[in-house]
Amino acid sequence: MKRFLLVLMLAAGPALVAANQAAPTDLDPVANKRAVELSQQLRCLVCQNQTIADSHAELAVDLKNQINEQIRAGRSDREIIDFMVQRYGDFVLYKPPFKAETVLLWVGPVALLVLGMGAYFLQLRRRRTRIDERPLSEAERLEADRLLGLGKTEDSSK
C-alpha cells in the first residue's frame, strides 16, 4: 500500500497537487488537478479569507469531497461551480463574477486609469497655458543678485 501511494505521488509530477483526507488517490492525476483547480476558485465560508483548497475547516473538506464526487459523476467544471453558487450564492466565488452588479468593480480600475490619464494630460496642458514665465526685470535681477550674494540663503519665507 505504501509503495502504491509513493508511486502515485511521484507519478503525479511536480505540478501543484493537493490532496485531502478523502483519499486523493481515488482520482487519477488529471481529475485530481481539476479538483484542486476548482477548489481554488471557491471561498471557504468558515475561514472566510481562504479558499477551500487551503482551508482545513470541516466544511472545506466536505465541499472538497463534494467536488471529487461530482467529478467522478462526470459533471463539468461549469456545472460544479454552478452547483456551489446555487447553494451558497456569489459569495462563495473567490474571484468575483462578472455580472451587472459587479460591472463597476471590474471596470472601475480601468475607468480610474482612464480618468487619471485624462487628468494628467489636462494638467500638462493647463500648466503650459497658465504659467507665465518671463525673464526677470532689472529690479528683480538686482534683488536676486543681492540675495545670492549673501551666501547660503535663509528662506525668504521666514
Partner 1 sequence: MWRYLAPLAAFLVLAGFLYVGLGLNPREVPSPLVDKPAPAFELAKLAQPDQTFSRDDMKGKVWMLNVWASWCTACREEHPLLVDIARQGTVPIVGLNYKDKPEAAKQWLAQWGDPYKLSVQDPVGRTGIEYGVYGVPETFVIDKNGVIRFKQIGPITPKVWQEKMLPLIRQLEQA
Partner 2 sequence: MIPEIGHFALILALLIALLQGVLPIVGAARGIGPWMDLARPAAKAQAMFVTLAFGCLMWSFYVSDFSVQNVASNSNSLLPWYYKLSATWGSHEGSILLWTLMLAWWTSLVAFFSRHLPREMVARVIGTLGLVSAGFILFTLTTSDPFDRLFPAAPEGRDLNPLLQDPGMIFHPPMLYMGYVGFAVPFAFAIAALMGGRLDAAWARWTRPWTTMAWVFLTLGIALGSWWAYYELGWGGWWFWDPVENASFMPWLTGTALVHSLAVTEKRGSFKTWTVLLAIITFSMSLLGTFLVRSGVLTSVHAFATDPERGVFILGFLIFVIGSSLLLFAWRAPKVGLGGKFANVSRESMLLMNNVLLVVAMGAVFLGTMYPLFLDAIAGTKISVGPPYFDAVFAPLMAPLVFLMGVGPLSRWKEAKIPDLATRLRWAAVVAVVTAVLVPVVLGRWSWIVSGGLLLAFWIVASAVVNVREHIRNVRGSLLTRLASQPRAFWGMNLAHLGVAIFIIGVTLVKGYETERDVRMAVGDVVSVGGFTFKFEGVQEVQGPNYVAARGTFDVSKNGRFIEKLYPEKRSYLSNRAMPMTEAAIDSSIIGDIYVSLGEPVGGDAWTVRAYYKPFVTWIWWGCVAMALGGLVALSDRRYRFARRREASAAKAAVTA
Tell me how far the alpha carbon of residue 90 is from its chain's centroid: 17
Toward partner 2, which CB reaches closer, 23 or 59? Answer: 23
Residue 34 near partner 2 by CB under 8 A: no
Measured CA to CA in angstroms, residue 91 lies from 51, 52, 81, 85 at distances of 12, 13, 12, 8
62 vs 140, which CB is nearer to partner 1?
A: 62
14 binds partner 2 (CB under 8 A): yes
Is residue 134 near partner 2 by the rule CB under 8 A? no
Closest C-alpha to 67, from 96, 27, 97:
27
Residue 158 cell numbers, joined: 521666514
The item of partner 1, partner 2, none sharing an interface with residue 21, based on CB under 5 to 8 Å by kind, is partner 2
Q: Using the rule CB under 8 A, is 45 a contact of partner 1?
A: yes
84 class by beta-carbon count within 10 Å (0-12 exposed, 13-18 middle, 19+ buried): buried
Q: Residue 152: what residue type?
A: K
Distance CA 131, CA 45 (A): 57
* Nearest Cα residue to 70 out of 31, 33, 109: 31
Tell me how far apart the alpha carbons of residues 28 and 155 are, in angstroms, rounded to a whole number: 76
Report 77-116 residues binding partner 2 (CB under 8 A). Answer: 89-97, 101-102, 104-106, 108-109, 112-113, 115-116
Determine the interface stretch with partner 1 among 26-34, 44-52, 106-114, 138-146 (rule: CB under 8 A). Answer: 44-52
Nearest to partner 2 of 34, 43 (CB atom): 43
Q: Is 16 in the site for partner 2 (CB under 8 A)?
A: yes
Contact residues: partner 2, CB under 8 A: 2, 5-6, 9-10, 14-21, 23-24, 43, 47-49, 51, 54, 56, 89-97, 101-102, 104-106, 108-109, 112-113, 115-117, 119-120, 123-124, 127-128, 130-131, 133, 152, 154-155, 157-158
